[in-house]
Structure 1
Amino acid sequence: MAWPTNLDGFEKNLLKSDALHEMDSLDKNLLKSDALHEYILKTNVYPREHEQLKELREVTAKHPLGLMGVPPEEGQLLSILLKTMNAKKTLEVGVFTGYSLLTTALALPHDAKITAIDVDRSFYEIGLPFIKKAGVEHKINFIESEALPVLDKLVQEVNEDELFDFAFVDADKNNYAKYHERLIKLVKVGGIIAYDNTLWFGTVATPGPVDPKYPDFVGILRDDVVKLNKSLAADPRIEISQVCIGDGLTVCRRVY
């Protein structure tokens, strides 16, 4: 999970706010049984997790904003998708410490290219030693910027035969709909766009005000996620599957 990584100073403000202390009680696991979640991790995920992914996950978990990291079971699913697609050119909006980025880089062939965009390089620097140790840094073009200007530039510059195979979005939820309109032009027909956090701690199914146990930003962004889900469900340009993994992943296949 990366929350509004393209909102000016979001993480820095969060580090200073009371919401940071409330994050410790948040849980992205939407399964009703914690024991079942632990079973999935110990049986299927951790034994197959790459050593550098494991080390990066453990370092990220110690960070005050560690909950923003992509869950390892979600990374495992993304890896299979990328390999099944034979993807070679991908785009990532929202990087944080780079767990999903490293997952992608490990899944792609040696000559693959990943364009990774995040407003704050300092978080990427946390994951960079693990990326280098894994021997996949050469696949990554990291761009420190708000995402919309970069995506708009790519829309203008990328030719039809240069479109991306896959895009992963894990950034500011209030801009997901804007990203979608750019990505539908940047990902090739038959390609995949994956949106993280689309069940938003399960709050999308809760009518009325969000439970006060959640930090304010959860309620503030809940409506943006609800609107996005409705929009994606009604978009004839894509096929979709919303997966209950982490706190929701929506996989979109571009049809035209």
Structure 2
Amino acid sequence: MSTKSIAVTDELHAYIVAHGSPQDALTRELIDETVALLPADAEMQIAPEQAGLLTLLTRLVNARQAVEVGTFTGLSSLAIARGLASGGRLTCFDISEEYTAVARRYWARAGVDDRIELRIGPAAETLRSLPAEPHLDLAFIDADKTSYPVYWAELVPRMRAGGLIVVDNVLRGGRVLAPVSVADRAVADFNEAVLGDERVEPVMLPIADGLTLARRR
């Protein structure tokens, strides 16, 4: 089967960002500070074009109740918070006080800190503190890859009909085709499980390291 996808060079990526998801000064500063402060871990930050997409998706589902698993320095949470409907709330789950301290500063500077709640602790446990009934409009998963099935199991029943789950790093740099690590195998198995989950309608997109969008039936 032929493909219409093209290789994305650095120059083409810059063009995509400039024409599809332009960054404001605060976003650029957050990206730059993350790279400067945490050069070894900066790859955990979502891509700029993903930030623009997250804001758009949040608006499209008119999200008032959103959840993020894996906050890091806050780019994805900032993007989601900016797209929330009036009165909307975002609950973030992370294990690092150090990384999320950066996120807190930028939430405050962006004026969205009043709509974000951060809960520190293993998300496999803290997610269970959410109301059990279907109430979430949007969920974003971008944390420990081996725990993706656990996060999925906790979140899907809590999504309202038409709600959207967004999952990052579903391609693992292409290694899902031939997994070479425990995390690669976990994501490959997770992708198969999502495909067979009749509760959702999934689409996988080759954006950055791969995004799965799954709409709750």
Answer whether TM exceeds 0.5 for this pair. Answer: yes
Q: What corresponds to 1:44 in structure 2?
A: 20
Distance 1:225 1:107 in 2: 28
**Cα RMSD (Å) of the superposition?**
1.6
Name the SS for the 2:183 alignment partner.
helix
User: What TM-score does the superposition give when structure 2 sets the normalisation length?
Assistant: 0.91
Q: What corresponds to 2:3 in structure 1?
A: none
Q: What corresponds to 2:199 in structure 1?
A: 237
Q: Which runs of 4+ in 1 moved over 4 A?
A: none
> Residue type matched to 1:49 in 2?
Q
Distance 2:103 2:79 in 1: 12
Out of 74, 80, 105, the residue aligned to residue 81 of structure 2 is 105
Q: What corresponds to 1:56 in structure 2?
A: 30
Give 1:152 deviation, angstroms: 1.9
Out of 104, 116, 119, the residue aligned to residue 143 of structure 1 is 119
Distance 1:32 1:199, change over 3 A: same
Q: What corresponds to 1:9 in structure 2?
A: none
Bigger RCO (CA 8 Å, 6+ sep): 1
> Residue type matched to 2:28 in 1?
K
Q: What corresponds to 1:16 in structure 2?
A: none
Q: Deviations over 1:188-226 (max 9, x none)?
A: 111011110000111112x3x64xxxxxxxx23110010
Distance 1:33 1:44 in 2: 16
> Does the aligned pair in 2 maintain the 1:173–1:221 contact within 8 Å?
yes
Q: Deviations over 1:86-113 (max 9, x none)?
A: 1111000010001000111111134111
Distance 1:91 1:31 in 2: 32
* Structure 1 unaligned blocks of 5 or more: 1-29, 211-218
> Does the aligned pair in 2 maintain the 1:168–1:194 contact within 8 Å?
yes
Q: What corresponds to 1:125 in structure 2?
A: 101
Name the SS for the 1:185 alignment partner.
helix
Give 1:32 deviation, angstroms: 4.5
Name the SS for the 2:204 alignment partner.
strand
Out of 220, 223, 235, the residue aligned to residue 182 of structure 2 is 220
> Does the aligned pair in 2 maintain the 1:199–1:248 contact within 8 Å?
yes
- Number of residues of Structure 1 aligned to a counterpart in Structure 2: 210
> Does the aligned pair in 2 maintain the 1:169–1:195 contact within 8 Å?
yes
Distance 1:229 1:83 in 2: 26
Q: What corresponds to 1:18 in structure 2?
A: none
Question: Identity rate of aligned residues, in percent?
Answer: 32
User: What TM-score does the superposition give when structure 1 sets the normalisation length?
Assistant: 0.78
Distance 1:168 1:31 in 2: 26
> Does the aligned pair in 2 maintain the 1:92–1:169 contact within 8 Å?
yes
> Does the aligned pair in 1 maintain the 2:132–2:157 contact within 8 Å?
no
Out of 158, 175, 194, the residue aligned to residue 186 of structure 1 is 158
